[in-house]
Amino acid sequence: MTDFRTRWHEATSRVGHTLDSLPKPVRIAGLLVFVAFLYILPNKWFYEYLNIPGVWIPLYTTSNDMAAVLFYCAWIVLLSLGLNVVVGYAGLLDLGFFGFFAVGAYTVALLTSPESKLITEYNWLESPWPWLVTVPIAIALALLSGVLLGAPTLRLRGDYLAIVTLGFAEMIRIVAKNQDWVLNGDRGIPSVAHPPGKWSDGSPIFGFEFKPYYWLLLTVIIIAVFLIRNLSRSRVGRAWVAIREDEDAAEIMGVPTFRFKLWAFAIGAAVGGLSGSLWAGQATFVNSSTFSLENSILVLAAVLLGGAGSIGGAILGGFLVIYIPEWLRSVGDVFGLPEVVSIAGRDYDVSPTSLRYFIFGVLLIVVMIFRPQGLWPNRRRAAELKDRQKEVAVVE
């Protein structure tokens, strides 16, 4: 197994060095081609020709609309980018990230829905606001929530901080579920407004088709990657790395650790709020069932699977945690696998659709055992893990 790890490490290092050695114009051209590929991808006339060479196994999903799968992939990718700032760069374990997502989604729902109680019962608003106006408000409120939560709690570390953030997300969910005053409890808020825009024939761009929402999310992700990448290479990003590696040493060296941790928390919360506002515009209905703990864990798993502290890793992890289970549903269709088997007179459901999360869970465990730094790790982060493994080996 050690030989396999060595060969894998050598192969990935060789690919990385080859890409780094390419001239800058070639790398930019390759990146532009890849971005164009992502924009074309949800078109059926394009993705139907994607398959694994040699054997006809489609890379698109046959059991679910490919554009819908890509939309959910992009949604989790955006959340992963936000959580990566908190967990990957600053090293803060946040289990309640979906709480900020809920703040963004509910803000848009309350302000844009004609059935919001702010309009129908309390007359605080005369009419629904345009979706575009409410997005900055949702981001600002999510950011403020991050500051209000982080200010009294970011002096905690490790497990204690994780418990506090978990409590915050659960508090938001339970309040949304039981509170009937404004949020309407489990009945939720329907008729949330779509983003604006019309095609040349006058029909709305954003309706119930997933493709325009995927393009919108993809554009937002590209802007977010550009901003987070520049931030990570600034003085703020270097302070985050110092805090993640050794907070006490960073404090002694003059880094105001609390302020920079609060920065990371607030930026991550703002991205979560933005993601919630985009999701609410597509779903047109918001209630507490979306903000479960499982979704927070899913986003955290995406960051760790891809590689904490790596923008590429967050994108790859966010894509895989949605795409692989959906793609596994297609395998049964392609090979005509049985849905049910009978053993001793009893029927058992063995369809890939039912077993996809079990298979995906096994894959996650295997990756975490043999690739703890993630599939696309940050080089500095990978070096940190390697040093710690050596320290443990010396102690033993």
Domains of the chain: 42-395 (1.10.3470)
Average pLDDT score over residue span 123-127: 86
Question: How far lies 271's CA from each of 80, 259, 265, 275, in Å?
Answer: 9, 19, 10, 6
Above 60 in pLDDT, residue 394?
Answer: no
Model confidence at 55, pLDDT cuts 50, 70, 90, reads low
Instruction: Quote the CA–CA distance of 113 and 127 in Å, as a whole number.
Output: 9
Report residue 311 as tokens: 């923008």
Q: Dump pLDDT digits (tens) for 11-29.
A: 666 776 777 777 888 888 9
CB atoms within 10 A of CB 11: 10
Residue 141: predicted pLDDT: 95
Average pLDDT score over residue span 80-108: 90
Q: DSSP readout, 69-138?
A: HHHHHHHHHHHHHHHIIIIIIS----S-HHHHHHHHHHHHHHHH-TT-HHHHTS-S-SSPPPHHHHHHHH
Above 70 in pLDDT, residue 386?
Answer: no
Query: Looking at the DSSP assignment, which residues form a beta bridge with residue 204?
Result: 198
In the three-class reduction of DSSP (H, G, I as helix; E, B as strand; rest coil), residue 348 is classed as strand
Contact criterion met (CB below 8 Å) for 91 and 244: yes
Higher pLDDT, 261 or 346: 261
Report residue 32 as tokens: 């532009």
